[in-house]
Structures are given as C-alpha cells and as structure tokens.
Amino acid sequence: MSEAVKASLTPKSAPAAPSRRRRRRRELLPYVLLLPAIVMELLIHIVPMVVGVAISFLKLTQLYLRDWWHAPFAHLDNYRLALNFSKPAGKALLHSFWVTLAYTVVVLAFSWLLGLAAAILTQRPFRGRGLVRTLFLVPFALPVFASVITWNFMGQRDTGVINHLLVDQLHLASDRPFWLIGGNSFWMIVVVTVWRSWPFAFLVITAGLQSIPGELYEAAVLDGAGFVAQVRRVTLPLLRPVNRVLILVLFLWTFNDFTTPYTLFGDTPPRQADLISIHIYQDSFTTWNFGSGSAMSVILLLFLLVVTGGYLAVANRRTEHA
C-alpha cells in the first residue's frame, strides 16, 4: 500500500489530461470486455428466440425439419390450434396448464412454509444447529436426477418404501396404491418437488433473518411481545423484500421445471401430472410438429411475462405505500 501511495505522489510519465485516443480506448473497453458474452448471448439466446418465434408461424413438420426455409407459412394456424380449447390439442394444453398451475401453487406454498418454519426454528443458536442446517441443504445439493430416481424407486408399488411404510407398517390402506400412475401421481410429484425446493426457501429466508438487527427483537420483548407477536410484527414485515424475490423465483422454477417430471415419469407422464414443460416436449418430439410446439412455447413465455410483470408491479406498489 505504501508503495501505491508513493507512486501516486510522484506521477511518472502520465500526462495531466489523457489524450483523446486514450479516452476513446477507455470508453470502448467495457464493450470489448462484453464482446464474448454478447456474441454468446446472440448465439444461444437471441437468435434461437427469434428463430423460435419464426418457426411458430410455419408449418414445420418432420418433412421440412432439415431445411426449414422451405416450410410453408402457416399464418396463425399453430396458435389457433393450441388455443382452440374445444379441439383435442387445445383441450390437452389447457388441462396441462391447469395441472401445472395447481402443482406450482401447492409446491410454492409448502416450500415457503417449511422454509420459513425451519429458518425461524434455527434462528437462535442451539446445540447441533450447524449440523441441522447442513443436513437441510443436502436435497438441494444432490443432482436432481439422482434424487428423483430414488423417489421413483420409493414410489414403486410392490418394492417401494412408501407402500411398505403406509400399507405394511402403518396399515393406512389395505390395497397397495399406485404412486407413479393415476391420481396419486400428482401428489407424488408435489411431494418430490417440495422435498427438493424447500431447502432453497430455507436458505434464502435464513440469510434474510441474519440481516434483521437483534435490537428489534429486544425492543419487541420490552413491549411485552411474545414469540408469536415477534414473528408477526418483526420477522414477517422485515422479510418482505426477501419473500418478494423468493416467491417469484420459486414460482418460475417450479412452473418451468422439466427435470423432476421427466425423471419421475419418463417421456409420457400420467394425465393427472401432465406438467406443461413436458407436455410441450412430448408433443413436439412425438408428432415432430415443431411449429405447434414453438407456438405453445411462445404462449407459455407470454403467460410468464404477464405474470412476472403483474407480480412485480403489485409488489413494487405495495412497498411504495408501506
């Protein structure tokens, strides 16, 4: 450090004002640094998105896959097909949309509640706290496919641990239920996703709690606030900015999740757990109709943009009023 000070006291050859060329070079520098990232962004995001939107207006079937330039223009046919809810394709898409929405809301609610409860319970130091915190992170650290394959094994009707526990040991049912097909599959994927994502809520809320000054709790105690009142009047209001981002991130992740349903059910999920990402995937790669697959993706994106925009607008207005 002293060397730096010395150097700054004795300017070497640096001119008083940087020359014009030098200044221009300085102005260009951030763009030069960004260049590789911009090129990559163009290659992997911007161009594919433009192509994706273009494809959604084409009759791009297997016939034209190898030279999509020659695929005939389809006007809005792909969108009309996807959004015509009285025809099978539109009906299936709408069904998948509702399933995904229900799944997302339930997963979000449980993940947030469990994360909040665990974060509050581990807020004050106790013996073994570090161990508990590390343990709770493990589902988040495990590769998704490895843990979901394990859940697949657990949900097997005859050899899985779930039926062993519920039927053989607790006698809650007389007949072994199926977990990976039929109506139960919806709850199965909800449980698996909650298992995977509540640690993230725990992680973020724990970090948020650490930024709440301890004096606030002391002041609340002096006011005679019990534990519940402290949570309601100190913890929850101060967590609001954290929750705002957390809920949005969890919503988007859960809504777009592909790995969990694909690993749990394979490429043809049961109807009751036909989540939208896998629905579009399956539809595109079994019919090879990429035009309609792209149209559905664009519709999905528009929905997510509207939801995110609306959510941020409401959340921001609330903070301004608060």
Partner 1 sequence: MREPTWFRWTRRVGLLVLAAFTLLPIYVMVSSSVKPLRDVQGAFTWLPSHVTLQPFREMWTTIPLGRYFINSLVVSTISSLASVAIALLAAYALSRYRFRGRQTFSVVVLSTQMFPGILFLLPLFVIFVNISNATGVNLYGSRLGLILTFLTFTLPFAIWMLAGYLDSIPRGLDEAAKVDGNGPLGALFRVVVPAAIPGIVAVAIYAFMTAWGEVLFASVMTDASTRTLAVGLRGYATQNNVYWNQIMAASLTVSLPIVAGFLLLQRFLVSGMTAGAVK
Residues 74-133 that bind partner 1 (CB under 8 A): 114, 117-118, 121-122, 124, 126, 132
Smallest gap from Cβ 85 to partner 1, in A, equals: 21
Stretch that binds partner 1, among 4-12, 72-80, 81-89, 91-99 (CB under 8 A): 4-12
Q: Would you state the structure tokens that stand for residue 193, as one six-digit string? A: 């996703």
Smallest gap from Cβ 87 to partner 1, in A, equals: 21
Is the Cβ–Cβ distance between 107 and 194 less than 8 Å? yes
Q: Is 43 in the site for partner 1 (CB under 8 A)?
A: yes
Q: Is 254 in the site for partner 1 (CB under 8 A)?
A: no
Nearer to partner 1, 43 or 76 (CB): 43
Q: Is 270 in the site for partner 1 (CB under 8 A)?
A: no
Indicate which single residue of 178, 187, 258, 311 sits in contact with partner 1 (rule: CB under 8 A). Answer: 258
- Closest to 204 measured CA to CA, from 239, 236, 235: 239
Alpha helices in the chain (DSSP H): 2-9, 20-41, 47-55, 77-83, 88-121, 129-141, 144-154, 161-163, 184-210, 214-222, 227-230, 236-256, 259-265, 276-287, 290-321
User: CA-to-CA distance for 267 and 146, rounded, in angstroms?
Assistant: 17
Indicate which single residue of 232, 237, 286, 308 sits in contact with partner 1 (rule: CB under 8 A). Answer: 308
Site string for partner 1, 15-34 (x = CB under 8 A): -----------xx-xxx-xx
Number of residues that bind partner 1 (CB under 8 A): 107
Tokens 């697959």, residue located: 293
Indicate which single residue of 20, 21, 67, 175 sits in contact with partner 1 (rule: CB under 8 A). Answer: 67
Smallest gap from Cβ 56 to partner 1, in A, equals: 9
User: CA-to-CA distance for 133 and 145, rounded, in angstroms?
Assistant: 23
Site string for partner 1, 216-235 (x = CB under 8 A): -xx--x-----x--------
Is the Cβ–Cβ distance between 118 and 290 less than 8 Å? no
Nearer to partner 1, 86 or 256 (CB): 256
Q: Which DSSP letter does residue 126 get?
A: -
Q: Would you state the structure tokens that stand for residue 55, as one six-digit string? A: 């494809």
Nearer to partner 1, 86 or 240 (CB): 240
Site string for partner 1, 140-179 (x = CB under 8 A): xxxxxxxx-xxxxxx-x-xxxx-xx---x-----------
User: CA-to-CA distance for 217 and 209, rounded, in angstroms?
Assistant: 12
Nearer to partner 1, 28 or 86 (CB): 28
Q: Is 63 in the site for partner 1 (CB under 8 A)?
A: no
Dihedral sign for Cα 196, 198, 202, 203, please: positive
Crossing angle between the packed helical segments 290-321 and 236-256, to the nearest 10 degrees? 180
Q: Is 136 in the site for partner 1 (CB under 8 A)?
A: yes
Distance, first Cα to last Cα, the chain: 46
Smallest gap from Cβ 304 to partner 1, in A, equals: 6
Is the Cβ–Cβ distance between 70 and 60 less than 8 Å? no
Q: Is 300 in the site for partner 1 (CB under 8 A)?
A: yes
Nearer to partner 1, 86 or 322 (CB): 322
Indicate which single residue of 80, 83, 233, 281 sits in contact with partner 1 (rule: CB under 8 A). Answer: 281
Q: Which DSSP letter does residue 58 get?
A: B
